[in-house]
Chains A and B, each alone.
Chain A
Amino acid sequence: MKHLAPRLVAGSAIALLAHAAPLAAQEDFMSADLERPLLVEDAFPLKFREWEVELGLRGGPAETGSGLLGIAELKSGLFLNGEVGLEIEAGVQDSGSDVGGSLSGIEAVSAHLLYGLSRETWGWPAFAGRVDVSSPGTSSFGREDWGVQFKGIATRSLGRLRLHANGGYALAGTDDGGDFWLVGVALQYPIGLFSRAILGDIYAELPTGDGRARVWVEFGTRWQLANRSVLDFGIATRLDEWEAGNANVQLVIGISRIFGIPGLVRVSPVSAPRIN
């Protein structure tokens, strides 16, 4: 179990790459989707009628035992400038000792609504708002109680560089650590016209009650593998857990694929559009 997480991450990466190679999107690599691979996201919802499935893994060794979290998400541009999504997180956590065994189960099932409030203009960034609702998980591995999170998102471009700022408030039961404020900033830059982008962020959760702040620093990349598929890869660390020279470092890898559903689109015929 001790080396399970790194092996699973490496294995999954190889499997995803091998599967994705023959596939053929073009702009999706510039979408800074939540957890793909950063915890800070951009203010751009999916296009109307666009669907996306995302699969990801986050894991690595830690002082308290290695862990691996798998994430599967289905989301849809259900209305103009609006996106809804359903996400399930499941994982396994090693106790870190030879006799402690491991915990596994569903961390949470979550649903979200992301709405683009405005596009970027010459003088203003793009703004969006997001609400997440998370259910309790299973066994002692998952969440203990329901949670709700509200977030405001801003995205500003300076030339090709994009800056993202997230700020919000999360309502959580005391068994899940209580309410907290969240704040984060991210940078994103495309590499030439190669349909690849590099990203980095710093993200913090600040408990309103007792407890110390949780701070992540992350760096990653998104590669357009095919016309509808993107691979993301990142490395993350919890700064607040850097103690005695030991860092809690995690690897993040995932793949996203966009698609449309023909049966859901009704096209009204245009009889002989005027051409003269």
Chain B
Amino acid sequence: MFSIKSNLAWWFLLVPAVGLSACAVPQRDQVYRLPAGYNFEFYDTYNEAARSFYAAHYTHFGAYETLLDYGEDAVEEMEAFRQRALQYVVNPPKFEPPAEIIAPNWSKMAYETGRAMDWTHMLHSQLYDILTDDRVTDKKAAGERAIAYYLSYPRSAFSTRGYGHRWMEAGGPWARTFRKKYPAINGILWAYHWHHAAVYEALMEPDPDRRRQVLDRVISVFTDSVLNDPPRVMPLTAEIAPRFSRLLPAGAQIFDNLHMMHDVVNDIMADPSFTRAEKEAEIERMRWNMIYAAQGAVVAPGMPMGEGHAMSPGSMRVPTRLPDGSWLPQGHPEARLATMQELMRPLAEPPDVEPTEPDDPGQADGHAGRER
């Protein structure tokens, strides 16, 4: 047996371990997806549809990186970036490019937000897998299990509450900066938010042949029409995918909050009144407002209705509880239409109050907009 000649070796581990632990340094804290037989079924079955999302991921993270590297008013660089993004629409990568490759500097600056986005992209992927895999007969149970696993890391999971457009329209002084400066790129991103939801709705088709037809149609409509004439407001999942949203209402709202956080980060990154360090802090503040861990305590702002604020008609349809106890999420065409006054008030329900059973399903919500 060897003889230990020096204690120096131990210091290689002990000194940094104790030192860094004492400083409470940030960690990667990465978690693997929920292991399941359906994983990657969507990629394997509908490869073109699965790969069609990769340009969206590139556009989101690439915009952050371009604004960080070249400044908030980098018009030429952003146009060159837009052209590259459109190339990836036509010719997407074979595998989903990781955010740390697309936006290496931004990922160092806003790691926890990037991790939350990736974690939610993973949930996106698993719900597509579940809807694709015909061996999964109870889609709702499998979907709720995947969502429960996702929510078990509450600091990386976005809220299940129906915030609609509130945080992106009224979360800070940066609101709407990106869409005003870079409307063409913003249009690509909102078109992709439509695309994500439309694919869910296509996958709700029970018959595999019909499902493939509808999915092909969604991709055609996306590239031929939606991308050329993007939505004027950020679409909500329930507006585009009512059947999916009724099946998994929490999932629909998680995705809306993810999409809203993408917009929030765009706005902060494009606002020249924030320094780099202030952007880092502001993105982190907004992440804390919008994650699952904080949803019982935060109060979402009301919708400002002045010039430049826009929301889709469906946004006025607020989360609604049905007599059977199930829920319709924000934007669902059958959900209750809130008054403008309600939408302008903060979501101010005390966190410990459970929703009451409605007497009138048409007025089933009864909570959105209630003041403390």
Docked Cα-Cα span, A116 to B1, in Å, equals 30
A-B contact pairs, 27 of them (CB 8 A): A44-B28, A77-B32, A81-B28, A115-B17, A117-B20, A119-B26, A129-B12, A131-B13, A145-B1, A148-B9, A150-B12, A152-B13, A157-B100, A179-B6, A194-B93, A262-B35, A262-B37, A264-B35, A267-B145, A269-B148, A270-B147, A274-B160, A274-B355, A276-B162, A276-B319, A276-B365, A276-B367
A27-B101, A150-B13, A275-B253 known, 11 other contacts, Cβ within 8 Å: A30-B100, A47-B30, A48-B29, A81-B29, A117-B16, A118-B25, A146-B2, A208-B5, A227-B40, A269-B144, A274-B355
Is A34 close to B, CB under 8 A? no
Q: Which residues of A contact B29 (CB under 8 A)?
A: 48, 80-81, 119
Knowing A121-B108, A160-B101, A267-B148, say if A276 contacts B33 (CB, 8 Å). Answer: no
Chain A: CB-nearest residue to B20: A117
Q: Per a CB cutoff under 8 Å, which of A118, A130, A194 touches B27?
A: A118
Contact in complex: A116, B162 (CB < 8 Å):
no
Is B321 close to A, CB under 8 A? yes
Knowing A121-B26, A160-B101, A208-B5, say if A275 contacts B160 (CB, 8 Å). Answer: yes
Docked Cα-Cα span, A120 to B6, in Å, equals 31
Is A24 close to B, CB under 8 A? yes
Contact in complex: B249, A275 (CB < 8 Å):
yes
Mark interface residues in B287-306 (1 if CB within 8 Å of A CB, else 0). Answer: 00000100110000000000
Contact in complex: A147, B2 (CB < 8 Å):
yes
Contact in complex: A30, B35 (CB < 8 Å):
no
Shortest CB–CB separation between residue A249 and chain B, in angstroms?
A: 31
Contact in complex: A265, B35 (CB < 8 Å):
yes
Is A169 close to B, CB under 8 A? yes
Contact residues, B30-87 vs A (CB, 8 A): 30-37, 39-40, 43-44, 54, 58
Shortest CB–CB separation between residue A48 and chain B, in angstroms?
A: 5
Contact in complex: A195, B93 (CB < 8 Å):
yes
Contact in complex: B9, A24 (CB < 8 Å):
no
- The 5 A-B residue pairs whose C-beta atoms are closest, nearest first, are A260-B35, A50-B32, A169-B9, A118-B25, A27-B98
Contact in complex: B95, A275 (CB < 8 Å):
no
Knowing A50-B32, A275-B161, say if A157 contacts B108 (CB, 8 Å). Answer: yes
Chain A: CB-nearest residue to B149: A267
Tell me the number of A-to-B contacts counted with CB atoms below 8 Å.
197
Contact in complex: A275, B327 (CB < 8 Å):
yes
Is A6 close to B, CB under 8 A? no
Q: Interface size of A by Cβ–Cβ distance < 8 Å?
A: 71
Q: Which residues of B contact A171 (CB under 8 A)?
A: 2, 4-5, 9
Docked Cα-Cα span, A30 to B21, in Å, equals 26
Mark interface residues in B167-201 (1 if CB within 8 Å of A CB, else 0). Answer: 00000000000000000000000000000000000
Q: Per a CB cutoff under 8 Å, which of A26, A116, A146 touches B97?
A: A26
Interface bin, chain B: 35 or more
Docked Cα-Cα span, A159 to B6, in Å, equals 39
Docked Cα-Cα span, A129 to B145, in Å, equals 35
Contact in complex: B5, A179 (CB < 8 Å):
yes
Mark interface residues in B311-328 (1 if CB within 8 Å of A CB, else 0). Answer: 000000011010001010
Docked Cα-Cα span, A179 to B327, in Å, equals 66
Contact in complex: B12, A259 (CB < 8 Å):
no
Q: Which residues of B contact A4 (CB under 8 A)?
A: none
Docked Cα-Cα span, A190 to B296, in Å, equals 41
Contact in complex: A227, B34 (CB < 8 Å):
no
Contact in complex: A173, B2 (CB < 8 Å):
yes
Contact in complex: B13, A26 (CB < 8 Å):
no
Q: Which residues of A contact B40 (CB under 8 A)?
A: 24, 227-228
Mark interface residues in A226-246 (1 if CB within 8 Å of B CB, else 0). Answer: 011000000000000000000
Contact in complex: B34, A194 (CB < 8 Å):
no
Contact in complex: B17, A117 (CB < 8 Å):
yes
Is A86 close to B, CB under 8 A? no
Is B329 close to A, CB under 8 A? yes
Contact residues, A159-181 vs B (CB, 8 A): 159-160, 167-174, 176, 179
Contact in complex: B367, A119 (CB < 8 Å):
no
Contact in complex: A151, B12 (CB < 8 Å):
yes
Is A97 close to B, CB under 8 A? no
Q: Per a CB cutoff under 8 Å, which of A24, A159, A258, A274 touches B44?
A: A24
